[in-house]
Chain A
Amino acid sequence: MKRLTYILLSICLTGCSGFLNVQPQGMVIPKTDAEFGSIMHRHLQDIEGGADDIIVGNMETIARLEGIADNLDANVMVGSIPAYAGDLINNRMTDYREYFSVIKDCNIVIENLDGRSSEEAGNILSCAYAIKGICYFDMIRDFCEAWDASRASSQLGLPLVDRFDIEDRTCRSSLKETASYAEALLQKSLEIGMSDDLYFFTEYIVKAYLAKLYFWVEDWESTLKVCNDIVENSGISLTPLEGYEDMIQSAKDKKGEVIVRSHINDASELDWYFGYERSYIRTRPASLAFVSLFGDHPEDDVRYSVSIDGKRFNNKTPEMKIRISELVLMSAESFCHLGQEDKALELLNMLRRERIRGVQDYTAASLPAVREGDRIVEDALGKELTPLMQAILDERRKELFMEGDRWFELKRNGSPEWWIINNGLKYTVKSYLYTAPVYKGDVDLNPGMKQNEGYE
């Protein structure tokens, strides 16, 4: 009997203790609407405080995107912002993981709140669908090739992750499927009809992202429909020339034609950091190609002095925004692609009248000829630039300077190759660099996960 007791005691003392690990360690599994809401509020707080660098984007996003694009001239002065897209491939790869961390949060909320009837649950759910849809839109631009309608069903898209599962090994879908998925998410957010500013992504903000998604995937009719809806019904209109500077330079407020912007919180603990970021952005001058767009009388264009100072350094408050001006330019380009040049020209002239003092309207005959030696030589459909398309792209470049747009303009319009010289060496922005690598850890772990071309 004693022998048996000793044996049992030995087993008890040395047995498995793994069961101790299954207890939640300092974490609370959310149950109430408010607890799920706090998951979303963490991201909203980042957006409003300017710390979010992936969903809406922030000053750091602008420094990175403008650093690797060509509105600023790294050949003249590199300054303190990234000089070359090739240097950033590993940072951009890490963004991929961050996007999926946000998507994981959205999935937890969507899985658990779908079906609840309270108003608060609806608001949180709408917010989760919107953020997830915007993440997919952002990732389509970053991690997928530029849209090519003839190949969209075979171009690499993204893993479509519907639920939180740590063991999940979803592979990449096609670009076409990913675009439809992102569209469905934004539409679901709109179906709930959330109007509470507390959850940030209200109707016209979501519609603005939807318009940008349609524009990126070259669905010109849908772009026009959504842009028109926003312009007609949102109550936000194109800011006139007199109010332009105040609208652009606003430190924290969403003024004039701004539909959505980063960093609207006046009590951000990161303000000290943004002071540095602002000064880094001002260490590289604007390129001659950009300055030349303002013509012989640049001071007539309100955007000139708002954008750069006498040394061509940035003057603009560098915040991510979606504004009515961008929607007007997207509409003009959509009309142009649909062969409705008169309507495109009408919108272009309408914008120019609100930006350039004493400007003469363009007519089909007075549009400047297509320049030789420009970086962009073909449009989004791969066709040679026409004078009208060039004029639209020029206006867009001036309007959206330092808003993180130019890098994607280059990608969308032919992904041209170009180079800079830094520290005595020439670095070429090859076409494949416009598409960032997906996270290497995912590719290594999952044999079915394909990496983008150029990073094998």
Chain B
Amino acid sequence: MKVMNRKKIILPALLLLLLSAVTGCSYKEEPDRTNDATTSYVTPKGDLPSADERAYVQTLVDEYNKSIKSSK
């Protein structure tokens, strides 16, 4: 009889414990997740320069080298 009584108490108590643990209130700290989880943008990519553009840059470099030699 005593065993039966213990079972009657312990089993519901365990069930209650489990229920409370699963459904107990929790503090929600994070905002809702969004569809897009990335935090940055893709930076623009470079193109291949034309021959004229490369030649123009070379003239700038040549002019610079010449000017710093003459200033020494």
Contact A421 B57 (CB under 8 A): yes
Contact A14 B21 (CB under 8 A): yes
Q: Does A437 contact B (CB under 8 A)?
A: yes
Contact B49 A15 (CB under 8 A): no
Q: Does A425 contact B (CB under 8 A)?
A: yes
Contacts of A423 in B (CB 8 A): 46
Q: Does A427 contact B (CB under 8 A)?
A: yes
Known interface pairs A10-B13, A75-B57, A440-B40; A426-B46 also in contact (CB < 8 Å): yes
Nearest-CB distance from A66 to chain B (Å)?
17
Contacts of B54 in A (CB 8 A): 421
Contact A75 B40 (CB under 8 A): no
Stretch at the interface among A35-43, A85-93, A317-325: A85-93
Contact A444 B24 (CB under 8 A): no
Q: Does A163 contact B (CB under 8 A)?
A: no
Nearest-CB distance from B58 to chain A (Å)?
9
Contacts of B67 in A (CB 8 A): 291, 312
Contact B60 A86 (CB under 8 A): no
Known interface pairs A16-B24, A90-B41, A440-B40; A445-B31 also in contact (CB < 8 Å): yes
Contacts of A419 in B (CB 8 A): 53
Contact B41 A422 (CB under 8 A): no
**CB-based A-B contact count at 8 angstroms:** 99
* Measured CA separation A426–B55 after assembly (Å): 13
- The answer, among B10, B24, B46, B60, for a CB contact under 8 Å with A14, is B24
Contact B72 A310 (CB under 8 A): yes
Contacts of B31 in A (CB 8 A): 445
298-345 of chain A: CB within 8 A of chain B = 310-312
Known interface pairs A15-B20, A16-B24; A93-B40 also in contact (CB < 8 Å): yes
44-72 of chain B: CB within 8 A of chain A = 44-49, 53-54, 57, 60-61, 63-64, 67-68, 71-72
* Measured CA separation A16–B26 after assembly (Å): 7
Contact B68 A311 (CB under 8 A): yes
Nearest-CB distance from A18 to chain B (Å)?
4
Q: Does A441 contact B (CB under 8 A)?
A: yes
Nearest-CB distance from B31 to chain A (Å)?
6
Interface residues on A, range: 35 or more
Known interface pairs A14-B20, A14-B24; A427-B13 also in contact (CB < 8 Å): no
Contact A15 B16 (CB under 8 A): no
* Measured CA separation A3–B61 after assembly (Å): 92
Contact A426 B47 (CB under 8 A): yes
* Measured CA separation A441–B38 after assembly (Å): 9
Query: A22 — nearest CB in chain B belongs to which residue?
Result: B27
171-226 of chain A: CB within 8 A of chain B = none
396-450 of chain A: CB within 8 A of chain B = 419, 421-428, 430, 433, 437, 440-441, 444-445
Query: A21 — nearest CB in chain B belongs to which residue?
Result: B27
- The answer, among B13, B21, B60, B64, for a CB contact under 8 Å with A6, is B13
4-21 of chain B: CB within 8 A of chain A = 8-10, 12-13, 16-17, 20-21
Contacts of A75 in B (CB 8 A): 57, 60-61
Contact A89 B43 (CB under 8 A): yes
* A and B contact pairs by CB, cutoff 8 A, 28 listed: A3-B9, A10-B17, A11-B16, A11-B20, A14-B17, A17-B24, A18-B25, A18-B27, A73-B64, A75-B57, A90-B40, A93-B40, A291-B67, A310-B68, A311-B71, A312-B68, A419-B53, A421-B54, A421-B57, A424-B48, A424-B49, A425-B45, A426-B47, A426-B49, A426-B53, A428-B44, A440-B39, A445-B34
Interface residues of chain A, those whose CB is within 8 Å of chain B, are 2-3, 6-7, 10-11, 13-18, 21, 73, 75-77, 86-87, 89-90, 93, 285, 288, 291, 310-312, 419, 421-428, 430, 433, 437, 440-441, 444-445, 455
5 tightest Cβ-Cβ pairs between the two chains A and B:
A425-B46, A14-B20, A86-B44, A426-B49, A16-B25
